[in-house]
Chains A and B, each alone.
Chain A
Amino acid sequence: MEDHTQITETLIQGDDEKLIILVQEALDSGANPGKLLNHVLIPAMDVIGERMESGEMFIPEVLMGARAMGLAVEMLKPLLGDGESSSAGKVIIGTVKGDLHDIGKNLVSMMMESAGFEVTDLGVDIAPENFIAAIKDQNATIVALSALLTTTMPMMKATVEAICESGLREQVKIIVGGAPVNQSFADEIGADGYAADAGSASKLAKSYLN
């Protein structure tokens, strides 16, 4: 395979304009779009993820990288062959009903996007039925619930229960988070997973793929 270190570096630097030019050049000189995505761009995003975790890269730098990645994926999408997918999976994310805190939820959403997930962010104050509608609509495989208030944590439980009742429970993994939430609460309400921050949230989501 050709040397694509320049693409890797440009993506890590978050230089979207240059990245698009480089990706186009690579395509023009005959690079395989699927390989470009899976062997160059996604591994570069993994590097970004690691550097974020170690504190080497700051959040806005990570998000710039993610944005550049998004643009490159848009370019490659129409060129991918059958069976080659640009998405790691479909995620529905939202802050549960009654809760308006979204700073952490937004970070989780952005990190998941940059890890290759197709994320539908429903926003804040989301009722169980809206999560269910979105799961059906998007045919999602992961649902991510955020809550920052003790008063709205019971709504997480209600949302999990509603998903069970709707018959969609088998289809999705449910992950929960937010400052007052912890692993034992996640277990108690029957969620599949809990993560303490955005980096581990996207790792957790990835761990459900096989």
Chain B
Amino acid sequence: MFKRMEGFSENDIDKIHNAVMEVLRDIGVAFHEPEALEIFKNHGFKVEGRTVYFSENQVMKALDTVPSEYTIFARNPENDVKVGGDNFALLPGWGAPFIIDNDGEQRNAVMEDYENFCKLVHTSKYLDMNGFLMVMPSDINPQESHLDMILANILLTDKAFMGSPQDRSKAVDSLEMVSILWGGKDKILNKPVLPSKVNPVSPLIYSEEMVGTLIEYATLGQPLEFPDLILSGTTAPITLAGTATVMMAEDLAGVVLAQLINPGTPCVIGGNTCATDMRTGGMALGGPEAIKIIHIIAQMGRFYGVPTKSGGSLTDAFFPDMQAGVESALSMFTSIAAGSHFMNQSCGILAGFNAMSFEKFLLDEEICGMVRKIVTPVEVTEESIGMDQIKRAGIGGAYITFPETFKKCRTELFMPEHATRGSYETWAVQGKKKVHTKAHESLIKRLDTYKKPDIDPSIEKELREFVAQRRAAISK
């Protein structure tokens, strides 16, 4: 679609690729799950203890079967999502234990927050699908809350959504629930309906939970996202080239396992890798290194022929203020402009993933809308050039009076819902509202006007029974 900004030259890419292969060949990657080690052994990989070593041939062969584009199906076919090539998907924030409210106060998130975020996703013009774990509900036993969250994902929106990666049994529960939704496991076998994350633990480890999760989703051919989260200088070299090397090595190792289990399983590589904040040892999620790595991820993905994940609306800030806006807009824009395909964390996240903000959700949404507009190719036709208008206006004419302008004034241009434009006086008369205040007001309206999408009552019943039965088993 576009010429992309690229972090590496072709020669650089070769060097990084060789380094990645050296890591996979000589250092290897640890898989803390015997089942995975068996799979590798059966396919002739060198395995010592828990460490698996990869030859370049073995990696390249596995990459051959990774689809470069695929569709994630939603229960409402209008909401199917295409991923890969020029197609990208935007998803909400993920994993926050806290909500930061409109006064900057932090509180534990609860299930009602989760449900409200589902409602916002459902009514969002700019989010393509739902995620999972948008917030971690503190009012439900954490060993069962995945059931409630998947149920909310199914019932409160008819967009596609993600499953639980928290551990193997939660992955199994998620898959069981979508099987009920789609009418049986055979209906979802190799039909992407429930992508999941599989996080490597940098550097170069896959934990028991994550490998278990990978095996469950890959067996059914469900898409796997490898969202690397390196802190450069802590879990990989402090330099971006070194970080990219570790990141690609661990991501590709996971992709290889998925392809051995079920060739053709869709995969997405990349992540939210960022620098270490050297003053505190914490994350520098909104820093320029995190933005730069987005270009690198997209470019490496094109090189390996695997769709990528990166960015979203990322920030270290604790309030939807200018820092949050700048960092989020930079990372959102870069993710899409760089050509990444799968953006979790596109709406709502604050505090380096530790909190969600409803107000920021709506403001990020607006940024998503703007970025979508920016990357939509410009239509060049006789009509869009509008020579007859240009002639009619001649020198000094007023296009604002033209019927063409009248006809397109609501459709041609992006209209922000929260950004302030116009005159100072109007802004002052209306109470000098800052943008987060406006977002807070429209949030209330948006939730008030939400309508739950219909679902076959027998499916809903079956899902609720499943949840009740699993809840009973878990709390035993």
Interface, chain A (partner B; CB < 8 A): 55, 58-60, 100, 103-104, 107, 149-151, 153-154, 179-180, 197-198
Are B97 and A60 in contact (CB-based, < 8 A)?
A: no
Are A198 and B281 in contact (CB-based, < 8 A)?
A: yes
Other than the known A150-B138, A151-B142, what 18 A-B pairs have Cβ atoms closer than 8 Å? A58-B279, A59-B279, A59-B280, A60-B233, A60-B278, A100-B201, A103-B231, A150-B97, A150-B136, A151-B136, A151-B143, A151-B166, A153-B142, A154-B142, A179-B97, A180-B98, A180-B136, A180-B354
Secondary structure of the B side of the interface?
A: loop
User: B270-290 interface mask toward A, CB cutoff 8 Å, 1 = contact, 0 = none?
Assistant: 000000101111100000000
Are A150 and B142 in contact (CB-based, < 8 A)?
A: yes
Q: How far is the CB of B326 from chain A (nearest CB, A)?
A: 21
> Which residue in B97, B142, B235 is a CB contact (below 8 Å) of A103?
B235
Say yes or no for B102: interface residue by CB 8 A criterion.
Answer: no
Residues of A within 8 A of B235 (CB): 103
Task: Give me the 8 closest cross-chain CB pairs, A-B, nearest first.
Answer: A151-B142, A180-B97, A58-B278, A150-B136, A59-B281, A107-B281, A55-B279, A150-B97
Residues of B within 8 A of A104 (CB): 281-282
Q: Which of B225-282 contact A (CB under 8 A)?
A: 231, 233-235, 276, 278-282
| Max chain B Cβ within 10 angstroms of own Cβ: one of A59, A154, A197 | A59
Q: Bound state CA distance, A20 and B381, in angstroms?
A: 76
Say yes or no for B51: interface residue by CB 8 A criterion.
Answer: no
Closest to A179 in B: B354
Residues of A within 8 A of B136 (CB): 149-151, 180
Q: How far is the CB of A53 from chain B (nearest CB, A)?
A: 10
User: B135-177 interface mask toward A, CB cutoff 8 Å, 1 = contact, 0 = none?
Assistant: 0101000110000000000000000000000100000000000
| Max chain B Cβ within 10 angstroms of own Cβ: one of A150, A153, A180, A198 | A150
Say yes or no for B116: interface residue by CB 8 A criterion.
Answer: no
| Max chain B Cβ within 10 angstroms of own Cβ: one of A104, A149, A179 | A179
Q: How far is the CB of B29 from chain A (nearest CB, A)?
A: 15
Residues of B within 8 A of A103 (CB): 231, 234-235, 281
| Max chain A Cβ within 10 angstroms of own Cβ: one of B234, B278, B280, B282 | B280
Closest to B135 in A: A150
Q: Bound state CA distance, A116 and B418, in angstroms?
A: 53
Say yes or no for B87: interface residue by CB 8 A criterion.
Answer: no
Closest to B137 in A: A150
Closest to B201 in A: A100
Say yes or no for B207: interface residue by CB 8 A criterion.
Answer: yes
Q: Bound state CA distance, A104 and B354, in angstroms?
A: 14
Residues of A within 8 A of B278 (CB): 58-60
Q: How far is the CB of A52 from chain B (nearest CB, A)?
A: 8
